Amino acid sequence: MAHISSTAHLPCAAVLCAFSLLFCAVSSFPVAPEGKQEAKCGYESCHMTKPGFLNVHLVPHTHDDVGWLKTVDQYFYGDRNDIQHAGVQYILDSVVDQLLKNPQRRFIYVETAFFYRWWKRQDEDMRNNVRTLVNQGRLEFVNGGWCMSDEAATHYSSVIDQMTLGLRFLNETFGECGRPRVAWHIDPFGHAREHASMFAQMGYDGFFFGRLDYQDREQRQMTLDQELLWRASDSLTPPMADLLTGILPNGYNPPEGFCWDQSCDDAPIRDDPDLEDYNVDDVVQRFIQTAKDQATVYKTNHIIMTMGSDFQYETALKTDDFFPYADDAHDFWTGYFTSRPALKRYERISNGLLQVCNQLEVLGGSSSRNGPFGKGDSHTMRKSLAVAQHHDAVSGTSKQHVANDYARRLSSGWSTCQVVVSNSLSALSGSTAPRVYCDNLNISVCSFTEASKQFTVTVFNPLGRPVLWPVRLPVNGTQYSVSDPDGKPVDSKVVPVSSSTRDVRKDRGFAVNELVFEVQAPPLGFSAYTVSQIQDQTGAKTETKTENKTGPNQGPTQIENKFLRATFDPDTGLLTGLINLETKQRIDLTQNFYWYNASDGNNSDSIQPSGAYIFRPNSSTPFIISKTAKTELVQTSVVQEVRQIFSPWASQVVRLYSSSRTLELEWTVGPVPIDDDLGKEVITRIDTSIKSGGVFYTDSNGRELLKRKKDFRPTWDLKQSEPIAGNYYPINSRAFIMDEENQLTVVTDRSQGGSSIQNGSLEIMLHRRLLYDDVRGVAEPLNETSDLFPEGLVVRGSLLLSLDPPKSAADKHRPLGQEMVLQPLLSFTEGAQETNTKLSKLFSTMEVLGFSELNLSANQWKKDMKRFDWTPKTEEKPEQKQFTDPSSWDVTLKPMEIRTFLLRVRI
Ligand SMILES: *[C@@H]1O[C@H](CO)[C@@H](O)[C@H](O)[C@H]1NC(C)=O
Ligand SMILES: *[C@@H]1O[C@H](CO)[C@@H](O)[C@H](O)[C@H]1NC(C)=O
Ligand SMILES: *[C@@H]1O[C@H](CO)[C@@H](O)[C@H](O)[C@H]1NC(C)=O
Ligand SMILES: *[C@@H]1O[C@H](CO)[C@@H](O)[C@H](O)[C@H]1NC(C)=O
Ligand SMILES: *[C@@H]1O[C@H](CO)[C@@H](O)[C@H](O)[C@H]1NC(C)=O
Ligand SMILES: *[C@@H]1O[C@H](CO)[C@@H](O)[C@H](O)[C@H]1NC(C)=O
Ligand SMILES: *[C@@H]1O[C@H](CO)[C@@H](O)[C@H](O)[C@H]1NC(C)=O
Ligand SMILES: *[C@@H]1O[C@H](CO)[C@@H](O)[C@H](O)[C@H]1NC(C)=O
């Protein structure tokens, strides 16, 4: 979010003293006399500082949202200035112009999505000028990813991809001088530990951010802890994930005339895109007093020269994260963890498709991009997905028309990627049969399978290990035979499409049944299954036993497979327990849907309403949607399910596939009613007999886990002012609660917010519909509707529950989370599969000639990666092994390591 102010200025040095090494800055001190030394980029191009003085570094920068109130292209071109006066192309034009006029000037630029657009439009003369500015360190890139990513709702793999896209463009364009030295996240609404870990592995020397909890900031100002060494991984060997981190003094007490937070309205700085309107001298004058004041709340006023040696950071080692973020007592930015749940899911599965597309683009060779099905590319999806990582995109905090633009971009990524997949499969199999994709299997829509009497399902598995995966296809027949790649029969069953699925799909599909079976696929490989209808009569009743049971003691009592049993109360239709049949573990477990009544902002404590960013329930007690569910039981050898209807806008299927070790809860929520004029934040809550005592665990960006404790923050004394919202944390892929005997893990299919408010309970927010804007700039209530759902958006998703002994569970849930992210891609062709699917010999066709290791974001060779070492002197430093020996092509990955290699191959 926030402020495309064309430029704003903030002080560093005294203020960012420890970081002065990391930055080039405009200061009041002269540079070396001209001609005496060659101009250089990097730290050597910095102005000199003066020993014994308070060095005030001004860092002119611009924060350009890759979509927020306007779309990314509207921001670039300066279109729709009626919404917000901002045009990034003019900012870059005038910045470059000003830099060229005066060699003393410096500027930092952050978002490569905009810079890339601008660069493409420049002629060779201008490009040469800009290369000079970059080579002399006068224009310096910081962060340099495609966008400044959101940190709560993003998955690490998409973050690495978007950083790689931006950073490799900068390296290709400018070489070493284009490589950013610091990561710069001045706007995201809270900070994830995994982001810090990734930035460290990308070779950044330091990290700056702007927003942290107001109580945390006060505390840090008192103890001079606004510079810290963040130890961002429990698993990686230090200093691999150590990152020197500086908290910028922006935010809530800006000096007059310097406010670049969107909550104030300093017109001269905020609204004018033309640098010539800025009076830097005036700005500096007013800053002197502020800089002096600010120096008192930072650890050092040391000068740049003595920096690296004098400090010890032991006391400021931080190992947790900066969530949740509150800017006041009743203003917790924990709503956006869930805002726009459909977009969050679309972003997540688009990431899966991109990985498939990348893999197949390589495997299929050059004809993947230009083959029998036309021109395809993975680049469209890569860019769309990179844009979607922005902190107003996947976060759900943009205006509705901008959210539509993000989804539209992803959708064009889907079509070009699907061409790549079709071309690649054609090259690999030798068949040019038209290939069909069904993007709405989640609501049982696929006109192809609905109509076809015989077809082949090709399953591509993007994971590096084999998967067993359930497939559900909309069909009209009642009996089918399914055979595996070897022609062996596969157990399959036909079950009726549920009433809630019919409601949500509307007239997008008409199939009456679903064909259910389990498929397997090898690591990074394919398998093909043939489906043949063996009964002509369509629309006939299926032989699958389904029963509608309502009324006292009429409901189902249990479903089970060989691993799990879920029990139900036959009176209420609700879950009552979960049993792991292998380990003989058993817990009481009830689950239901509730909604928090959103604050409208009209009360005496605070005028803060719930909105796109902020979660503020009117009361800590959520309302139950219904104490009972109408149930329907489906029991077959392939799948067992209890379909529960709680209300016309909340239903669920509790489902067990025959080979699954997890219980699926497939929820469907919406349209959330607002006819009572109350905004609603809908949660699913699982209450168990586990004695978790207010402790729960959530993942950070889909990787390592962090311990959360109710009403507690590890590094400061929390005064809890919002008992619910102040305990919400982002869940990217999984969360769990445990005691000595049992661990209940919940794997999510998208980013969501969640908490554990009661002992043994875990709640996850699924959907939000709000009637007021929360006054953080977006100026729209989060009230999602669409052409298909004019009465309010309906969203469907899945949670996977797993019950394990605490020790073994730790290893289990990360692969599960990965399976949700990198789901197999299904595609369909008419008729039976050709004998022996030719696809299996895939990998032997590629000969690896050599390889070199890169940093995590692939913009620097690993051997050239030299970060500043901030490790406290007292700590032992492990030998850093470099991967150099090309004769040994075995790479051993330590736990949680991700390594990046460039392979040279012959196809
Ligand atoms: C499937 O059956 C439904 C219900 O009879 C019907 O409306 C629909 O047209 C059928 N679909 C096809 C492709 O025949
Ligand atoms: C059960 O009830 C639902 C909704 O009321 C209906 O659509 C479905 O056909 C019924 N199923 C059976 C087996 O009666
Ligand atoms: C819901 O909250 C609103 C204020 O946000 C309040 O006026 C209303 O009484 C509350 N309703 C219920 C049912 O608690
Ligand atoms: C709350 O106050 C605002 C501004 O005074 C007003 O527009 C809104 O209608 C009020 N909401 C309710 C539910 O009374
Ligand atoms: C909830 O709404 C009621 C009625 O408008 C109001 O009196 C109360 O202060 C609100 N509480 C919170 C926490 O917003
Ligand atoms: C929310 O959306 C509904 C459906 O479009 C509309 O009728 C209602 O006025 C909207 N409410 C607000 C506060 O935007
Ligand atoms: C079904 O999946 C599509 C993406 O393929 C998504 O856009 C849509 O929102 C999902 N439908 C529901 C009801 O969640
Ligand atoms: C960075 O760019 C330079 C020059 O453009 C090139 O020689 C170098 O190999 C690139 N580095 C990486 C890691 O791709």
* Nearest ligand, measured from the Cα of 603: 5
pLDDT of residue 804: 95
Candidate from 610, 649, 674, 780 with most ligand 6 atoms within 8 A of CB, to mutate: 674
**Which pLDDT band, with edges at 50, 70 and 90, does 261 fall under?**
very low
Which of 514, 554, 631, 632 has most ligand 2 atoms within 8 Å of CB, for mutation? 632
- Per-residue confidence (pLDDT) for residue 379, from 0 to 100: 96
* pLDDT tens per residue, range 719-778: 999 999 999 999 999 999 999 999 999 999 999 999 999 999 999 999 999 999 999 999
pLDDT in tens, 370-410: 999 999 999 999 999 999 999 999 999 999 999 999 999 99
**Nearest-ligand number for the alpha carbon of 171:** 8
Q: Atom 13, ligand 3: which residue's CA is nearest?
A: 597
Q: How confident is the model at residue 428 (pLDDT cuts 50, 70, 90)?
A: confident
CA nearest ligand 8 atom 8, residue: 175
The pLDDT of residue 345 is above 60: yes
Whether pLDDT at 282 is above 80: no
Q: How far is the CA of 871 from the centre of ligand 7 (A)?
A: 46
Please tell me which residue, 355 or 21, carries the higher pLDDT value: 355
**Residue having the nearest C-alpha atom to atom 10 of ligand 5:** 618
C-beta of 618 in contact with ligand 5 (< 6 A): yes
Ligand 5 and 603: CB distance under 6 A: yes
Candidate list 93, 161, 187, 804, residue with the active-site label: 187
d(CA 652, CA 682): 14
pLDDT score at 15 = 25
Q: What pLDDT does residue 283 have?
A: 55
Instruction: Give residue for tokens 């586990």.
Output: 690
* pLDDT band, residue 807 (cuts 50/70/90): confident
Whole-number pLDDT of residue 13: 24
Q: Which residue has the higher pLDDT, 367 or 46?
A: 367
Report the pLDDT value the prediction gives residue 293, as an integer from 0 to 100. 67
pLDDT digits (tens, 9 = 90+) for 566-576: 999 999 999 99
Distance from the alpha carbon of residue 752 to the mean position of ligand 6, in angstroms: 24
Over residues 14-37, the mean pLDDT reads: 34
**What is the whole-number distance in angstroms between the Cα of residue 674 and the centre of ligand 4?**
15
CA separation for the pair 242, 234 (Å, rounded): 11
The predicted-structure confidence for 768-792, as pLDDT tens digits, reads as follows: 999 999 999 999 999 999 999 999 9
Range name among 195-204, 531-540, 630-639 with the lowest pLDDT average: 531-540
- SS3 at position 142: coil
Give the closest residue (by CA) to ligand 2 atom 3: 499
Ligand 1, residues 447, 538, 542: which to mutate, most atoms within 8 A of Cβ? 538
Quickly state the pLDDT bin for 893 (edges 50, 70, 90).
confident
**Strands, E, within 734-787: which ranges?**
734-738, 743-748, 752-755, 761-769
Residue among 672, 665, 628, 632 nearest 650 (CA): 672
Residue whose CA is at the smallest distance from ligand 1 atom 6 = 510
Q: What is the mean pLDDT of residues 305-314?
A: 31
Q: Is the CB of 451 under 6 A from ligand 1?
A: yes
pLDDT higher for 105 or 582? 582
CB under 8 Å to 61, separation ≥6 — which residues? 7, 8, 10, 107, 108, 109, 110, 142, 184
Q: Which protein residue has the closest C-alpha to ligand 2 atom 9? A: 499
Nearest Cα residue to atom 8 of ligand 7:
342
Task: Give the pLDDT score at 254.
Answer: 44
Contact status, residue 821 vs residue 877, Cβ threshold 8 Å: no
Residues 342-358, mean pLDDT to the nearest whole number: 97
Q: What does the pLDDT look like over 77-112, one tens digit per residue?
A: 999 989 998 899 999 999 999 999 999 888 889 999
Integer Cα distance of 115 and 144 in angstroms: 9
- Annotate 484-508 with DSSP letters as a single string: -TTS-EE-EEEEEPPHHHHHHHGGG
Ligand 8 centroid vs 177 CA: distance in angstroms? 11
Query: Ligand 7 center to residue 723 CA distance, Å?
Result: 33
Whether 174 has a pLDDT exceeding 60, the answer reads yes
- Tell which wins on pLDDT, 35 or 294: 294
φ/ψ (deg, to 5) at 906 = -115, 125
**How far is ligand 7, taken at its centre, from the CA of residue 432, in Å?**
29
Question: In this structure, are residues 67 and 54 in contact, taking their beta carbons and an 8 Å threshold?
Answer: no
User: Which of 381, 443, 767 has the most ligand 7 atoms within 8 A of CB, as the residue to mutate?
Assistant: 443
Using the 8-state DSSP alphabet, how is residue 859 labeled?
Answer: S
Main-chain phi, psi angles of 641, to 5 degrees: -145, 145
Q: Which two tokens stand for residue 683?
A: 């949660």
| pLDDT tens column, 630-658 | 999 999 999 999 999 999 999 999 999 99
User: Is the model's pLDDT at 10 over the cut of 50?
Assistant: no
**pLDDT at res. 814:** 85
What confidence score (pLDDT) does residue 570 get?
A: 93
The pLDDT value recorded for residue 876 is 57
Reported as a single tens digit per residue, the pLDDT across 114-155 is 999 999 999 999 999 999 999 999 999 999 999 999 999 999
Residues 359 and 309: their CA atoms lie apart, in Å, by 46
Q: Is 771 in the pocket of ligand 6 (CB under 6 A)?
A: yes
* Mean pLDDT (whole number) for 896-907: 84
Does any ligand 6 atom lie closer than 6 A to the CB of residue 786? Answer: no
Catalytic status, residue 890: no
List, as one string, the DSSP characters of 320-355.
Answer: S-B-S-EEETTEE--STTTSSHHHHHHHHHHHHHHH
Residue 14 above 60 pLDDT? Answer: no
Per-chain mean pLDDT for the chain: 86
Q: Is 783 in the pocket of ligand 6 (CB under 6 A)?
A: yes
Phi, psi of 698 (to 5 degrees): -130, 155
pLDDT given for residue 603 in this prediction: 80
CA distance 403 to 71: 8
**Is it the case that residue 309 has pLDDT exceeding 80?**
no
Does residue 227 register a pLDDT over 80? yes
Residue 820 near residue 443, CB atoms below 8 Å:
no
In angstroms, what is the span from residue 446 Cα to ligand 7's centroid? Answer: 13
Which ligand 2 atom lies nearest to the CA of residue 548? 1
Rounded to 5 degrees, φ, ψ at 72 are -60, -40
Decide whether any atom of ligand 1 lies within 6 Å of the 540 Cβ: no
Please report the atom of ligand 8 found closest to the CA of residue 854. Answer: 13
Q: Is the pLDDT of residue 461 over 50?
A: yes
How many angstroms does the Cα of residue 418 sit away from the middle of ligand 5? Answer: 51
